Amino acid sequence: MVTTNAPAVLVEGLHKRYGEKRAVDGLDLRVEHGEIVAVLGPNGAGKTTTVETLEGFRRADAGHVRVLGEDPARAGRAWRARLGVVLQDNRDLAEATVREIVHHVAGFYPAPRDPEGVIDAVGLRDRAGTRTRALSGGQRRRLDVALGVVGDPELLFLDEPTTGFDPQARHEFWELVESLRDEGTTILLTTHYLEEAERLADRVVVVAHGRVVAEGAPADLGGRRARRARVRWTVDGVTHDEATDTPTALVARLAAELGRTDGEVPGLQVLRPTLEDVYLGLIGQDAAADAAGEETAR
């Protein structure tokens, strides 16, 4: 139930250190109600530390954090019951069956979903009677997702939810997330799969070295320059390559100049950068800026 105009998640200037290591270093993040936000970033960027701080499992050193209007470091059971959490690694209750554990966890919530419906939704119907220790890695991950959604959360945290899924399981999971979105669930997910972010997220936030380095809708991330098309063609065995905002006009000009009899441009390719290309460019720039910073610091 949305009772205020405040965002579902608001983070300003979050800092968290482990000894000398700055895991999160001034991170800002905002997630509106009903939004799906994907947090991307290289290993060690601070994604899990951030998410676990929002879930109330880690304490921030500094910064303002509000999740569903409350400070996770102080919020109580009623607040927790409004969250769904899928951690990166859950290993417990190995002797319980899938059905037992989903029903058991549903019992913690005031208004849970139907556990049997959740077992169906995550594709574990034919494993419902299996002990969790006998599940494959991907099946275990589906169970983690089932436990995250069975409480019918307003806000769902998914930390690398599809790691270890086969392609079909990943597509089924995406459909499950889309149905949760259609029901109005707000979702913050971390992922290393760019395709997953592109398919699911309204907004992508790229984190490196504990800070946000870029954010935007998947189609806009990195700005117009990073999104420019590349046109390639071949003349006398030499390949030409040009970046352009107006690929159609360039191809029309090339066709007029080079199309000779049949109107075809030899070796023509029009390439659009994928989200992955843009992401790798952003991370590369960040690493380069970092190296330059270290160079000047020396």
| Among the listed residues 6, 12, 44, 125, the single contact to ligand ATP using CB under 6 A | 44
Whether the Cβ atoms of residue 2 and residue 35 lie closer than 8 Å to each other: no
Binding-site size for ligand ATP (CB under 6 A) equals 11
**What is the DSSP track for 90-133?**
----TTSBHHHHHHHHHTTSSSPPPHHHHHHHTT-GGGTTSBGG
Please tell me whether residue 158 binds ligand ATP under the rule CB under 6 A: no
H or E element, residue 281 = helix 275-297
State the minimum distance, in angstroms, from the CB of residue 23 to ligand ATP: 3
Please tell me whether residue 282 binds ligand ATP under the rule CB under 6 A: no
DSSP-assigned letter for residue 61: S
* Footprint of ligand ATP on 199-258 (CB under 6 A): none
| Among the listed residues 2, 21, 136, 288, the single contact to ligand ATP using CB under 6 A | 21
| Among the listed residues 18, 57, 175, 195, the single contact to ligand ATP using CB under 6 A | 18
* Footprint of ligand ATP on 55-94 (CB under 6 A): none
Whole-number Cα distances in Å, 252 to 45, 239, 255, 258, 263: 44, 18, 5, 10, 10
Whether the Cβ atoms of residue 132 and residue 101 lie closer than 8 Å to each other: yes
Q: Which long-range contacts (CB under 8 A, 24 or more apart) does 116-122 make?
A: 118/146, 118/149, 118/150, 119/146, 121/146, 121/149, 121/176, 121/179, 122/146, 122/149, 122/173, 122/176
Q: Which two tokens stand for residue 175?
A: 């459909």
Q: Which is nearer to ligand ATP, 137 or 237 (CB)?
A: 137
Please tell me whether residue 135 binds ligand ATP under the rule CB under 6 A: no
CA distance 147 to 273: 37
Please tell me whether residue 139 binds ligand ATP under the rule CB under 6 A: no
Q: Which stretch binds ligand ATP (CB under 6 A): 4-12, 29-37, 47-55, 269-277?
A: 47-55
Please tell me whether residue 161 binds ligand ATP under the rule CB under 6 A: no
Q: Which is nearer to ligand ATP, 48 or 185 (CB)?
A: 48
State the minimum distance, in angstroms, from the CB of residue 40 to ligand ATP: 9
Please tell me whether residue 191 binds ligand ATP under the rule CB under 6 A: no
Whether the Cβ atoms of residue 47 and residue 41 lie closer than 8 Å to each other: yes
State the minimum distance, in angstroms, from the CB of residue 275 to ligand ATP: 17
Q: Which is nearer to ligand ATP, 28 or 172 (CB)?
A: 28
| Among the listed residues 41, 56, 84, 218, the single contact to ligand ATP using CB under 6 A | 41
CA distance 124 to 139: 7
36 CB-near residues (< 8 Å, 6+ apart): 177, 181, 186, 187, 188, 189, 200, 201, 202, 203
| Among the listed residues 40, 45, 102, 169, the single contact to ligand ATP using CB under 6 A | 45
Q: Which is nearer to ligand ATP, 21 or 125 (CB)?
A: 21
State the minimum distance, in angstroms, from the CB of residue 249 to ligand ATP: 41
CA distance 199 to 174: 8
State the minimum distance, in angstroms, from the CB of residue 211 to ligand ATP: 12
Chain residues binding ligand ATP by CB under 6 A are 18, 21, 23, 41, 43-49
